[in-house]
Amino acid sequence: MYRKADKGWMKHLDFTLIDALCLQLAYVAAYFVRHGLHWPYESQLYRNMVFVFLFIQIFVTFFGESFKNVLKRGYFKELISAVKHVCLVVLIAAFYLFATQQGEEYSRITLIMTGIFYAVFSYGARILWKRYLLTRGDVGKGKRSLLILTSKDMVEEAVESIRQNNYECFRIVGVTLLDADWAGRSINGVEVVANSDSVAEYVCREWVDEVFVNLPKKMPLPQELMDCFIDMGVTVHLKLIEMGRLKGQIQHVERLGTYTVLTSSINMASWKQAFFKRAMDIAGGVVGCVLTGLLFVIVAPCIYVQSPGPIFFSQVRIGKNGKKFKLYKFRSMYMDAEERKKELMSQNRVQGGMMFKIENDPRIIGGAKGIGNFIRKYSIDEFPQFWNVLKGVSGIIEPTEKKLDFTGFSLA
């Protein structure tokens, strides 16, 4: 039975536990430096902080994705990641002490030294544990054995790619070529153990947990051979496409109805990232709507006195991926602004007509020194858009909305 790889923080539970141990060792060491050779667990405050630190460490690890791609990071990137993780833990701990009014009783030196020791211990432990995991997966080691099934033109690339990126810690048992009989040869230290005729017998007799199939597009898939492997209980990994050569795309395999598809995108957000973005939008939307209400009390009378009519202006705009929505602003132009725009098109300073800008636009309420120009100059007219942010129609960070007539233009 094939065990699907864990995702999220469970994928690197070992790093999380090691990091928690490093934090506790750092905490004890910092206490020894500041208070002498006494256990921090003797004081109720310091004893409670042991559990507070542990909770904060798990929180930062989970939501900060501290160990995402940890096995792929080099020494410098790992140092940056460790320092960033430690700083977040220490800052949240300091905020906790301040919020609970325990800051005066807790030693600042202990807190700072905890951070320093934690950074050193955590970085060292990460490097050592990564080295152990990566070397454990070399040829002849590892808990799961892997057979590489490929062609003579791709064999060196396939072997080297697996060996250099063996994050699953496979024991590479050998290589099989479907278009050549090289049995007995060695490819980059990995033996060619069978050919197309003898590979089924080899898998049946030897220790093979999984088979990686990497073939050129012109070579047909050995469907009967792969069915034979599956019947024997061997897991088959079939390379779908040349993923590494699709520049600027992120891909993953998922289900779409009854189909298994390879989804590609410029970027993909995890549920945690989407949650935090939406939480940020809600918080910003609430604050923005409150400010809009306060501005309404001041701006609305000025707009109505100089141009009786609705205080807000609404217009259908085109947002992300062509989705239409209604945009709201404080009205900064007279009621007949859209009709008068046609008469003023000859004065447009923007060539091509993609935008409309003229000097001293007569459609603006009150002219150059009126309320319309004032709220446009300081972007006060944009505040009602926070309502769309709160509803989730748009976000604080979003692409620029386009007018409906923008669809009439095309790329050169």
Q: How many whole angstroms separate alpha carbon 194 and alpha carbon 174?
A: 8
Q: Are 396 and 389 in contact (CB under 8 A)?
A: yes
The model's pLDDT over 230-279, given as tens digits with 9 standing for 90+, comes to 888 888 887 765 444 444 456 667 654 444 555 655 566 777 777 888 88
Sorted by where each begins, the domain ranges of the chain are: 8-136, 144-249, 272-408
- Strands of the sheet with 324-330, listed across from one edge: 324-330, 312-318, 402-403
Confidence of residue 399 (pLDDT cuts 50, 70, 90): low
> Which of 104-113, 130-139, 389-398 shows the lowest mean pLDDT across its residues?
130-139
Whether the CA torsion 263, 265, 270, 275 is positive or negative: it is negative
At the fourth CATH level, which superfamily is domain 144-249? NAD(P)-binding Rossmann-like Domain (3.40.50.720)
pLDDT for 17 equals 93
pLDDT for 412 equals 40
Confidence of residue 140 (pLDDT cuts 50, 70, 90): very low
The model's pLDDT over 148-202, given as tens digits with 9 standing for 90+, comes to 999 888 888 888 888 877 766 778 889 999 888 888 888 888 899 998 889 888 8
Which residues, including other chains, have CB under 8 Å from residue 71's CB and lie 6 or more apart? 130, 133, 134, 167
Collapsed DSSP state (helix, strand, coil) of residue 352: coil
Find the distance separating the first CA and the last CA of the chain, reported in whole Å.
55
Locate 206 and state its tokens.
Answer: 């030897």
Locate 61 and state its tokens.
Answer: 């690890």
> Which of 20-24, 48-52, 234-238, 244-248 shows the lowest mean pLDDT across its residues?
244-248
pLDDT for 247 equals 44
Report the length, in residues, of the chain: 412
pLDDT for residue 216 is more than 90: no
pLDDT for 321 equals 45
pLDDT for 246 equals 42
Q: How many whole angstroms separate alpha carbon 195 and alpha carbon 172?
A: 17
pLDDT for 336 equals 81
Q: What are phi and psi for residue 148, nearest 5 degrees? A: -95, 125
